[in-house]
């Protein structure tokens, strides 16, 4: 092969790589890092773009999420944006009226859920043990304009959840990994039939085998695992068949 041909082939190869990179960038759409580092580039499917706001209220919430992604994610252990979008889809599609979240951090995943609850007319009750993160979350809920539908309970959720009364449409567990089973045992009776229990960081390194056993062997429950993002278990509390 002549030198000219080799140079030509190398040139074509380089152009293809640049083309592929540009194509990836194009798929990200608006939303900066939300669409990049955390989100929905090629990692979670080539066709995903950043969420497109339907109105000003949605835009305000999405802008705050974008800002948190860019400025506050360090040390906050937030769910990836893709998992936040999943939480929103599930809450909105089920018309959730009451979501309970264990592990607020700075409010990031809670705000994704509020994006749904603002349209379903529902409420979020979220539990956090760390005072600094709870204070940040309060500020962030306010900034996103969702503080009117959020109750933040500060303290050890293993204790404080026992004061929670009422029916739960979705229970989202994202706190101390060894505590998942205790949260499930304490709150499952309040999850309505047809409601869901979602748990985050359900992956080989972090999931508590006791929790996995509990959600996969109970005939009242039906569970699948989504391994994209941080790893999410999606558990349905069955209604039971009508006879």
Positions in the binding site for ligand SAM (CB under 6 A) = 77-79, 103, 105, 108-109, 127-130, 133, 156-158, 174-176, 179
Q: Least CB distance from residue 183 to ligand SAM, whole Å?
A: 9
Buried/exposed code over 139-168 (b: 16+ C-beta within 10 A; e: otherwise): ebbebbebbebbebbbeebbebbeebeeeb
Q: Which residues contact 217 (CB under 8 A, 6 or more apart)?
A: none
Compare residues 81 and 221 and give the one whose CB is closer to ligand SAM: 81
Q: Least CB distance from residue 24 to ligand SAM, whole Å?
A: 25
Q: Torsion angle, CA of 100/101/102/106, rounded to 10 degrees? A: -140
- Dist. CA 91–CA 96, nearest whole Å: 5
Compare residues 2 and 71 and give the one whose CB is closer to ligand SAM: 71
Q: Least CB distance from residue 128 to ligand SAM, whole Å?
A: 5
Q: Least CB distance from residue 31 to ligand SAM, whole Å?
A: 17
Q: Least CB distance from residue 36 to ligand SAM, whole Å?
A: 18
Compare residues 48 and 128 and give the one whose CB is closer to ligand SAM: 128
Tell which residue, 240, 198, 194, has the closest CA to residue 223.
Answer: 198
Q: Which residues contact 42 (CB under 8 A, 6 or more apart)?
A: 24, 27
How many angstroms separate the first and last alpha carbons of the chain?
76
- Token digits of residue 133: 């993160």
Compare residues 157 and 214 and give the one whose CB is closer to ligand SAM: 157
Compare residues 1 and 227 and give the one whose CB is closer to ligand SAM: 227
């Amino acid at each position: 092969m002549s030198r000219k041909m080799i140079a030509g082939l190398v040139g074509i190869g380089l152009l293809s790589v640049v083309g592929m990179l540009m194509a990836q960038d194009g798929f990200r759409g608006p939303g900066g890092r939300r669409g990049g580092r955390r989100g929905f580039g090629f990692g979670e499917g080539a066709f995903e773009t950043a969420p497109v706001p339907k109105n000003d209220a949605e835009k305000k919430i999405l802008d705050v999420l974008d800002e948190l992604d860019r400025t506050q994610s360090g040390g906050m252990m937030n769910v990836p944006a893709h998992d936040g979008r999943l939480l929103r889809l599930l809450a909105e599609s089920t018309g959730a009226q009451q979501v309970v979240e264990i592990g607020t951090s700075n409010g990031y995943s809670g705000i994704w859920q509020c994006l749904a609850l603002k349209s379903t007319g529902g409420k979020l009750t979220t539990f956090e043990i760390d005072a600094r993160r709870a204070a940040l979350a309060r500020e962030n809920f306010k900034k996103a304009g969702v503080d009117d539908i959020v109750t933040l309970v500060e303290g050890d959720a293993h204790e404080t959840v026992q004061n929670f009364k009422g029916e739960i449409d979705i229970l989202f567990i994202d706190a101390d990994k060894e505590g998942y089973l205790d949260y499930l045992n304490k709150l499952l009776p309040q999850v309505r039939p047809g409601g869901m229990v979602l748990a985050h960081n359900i992956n080989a390194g972090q999931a508590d085998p006791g929790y996995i056993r509990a959600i996969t062997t109970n005939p009242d429950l039906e569970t699948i695992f989504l391994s994209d993002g941080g790893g999410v278990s999606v558990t349905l509390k069955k209604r039971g068949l009508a006879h």
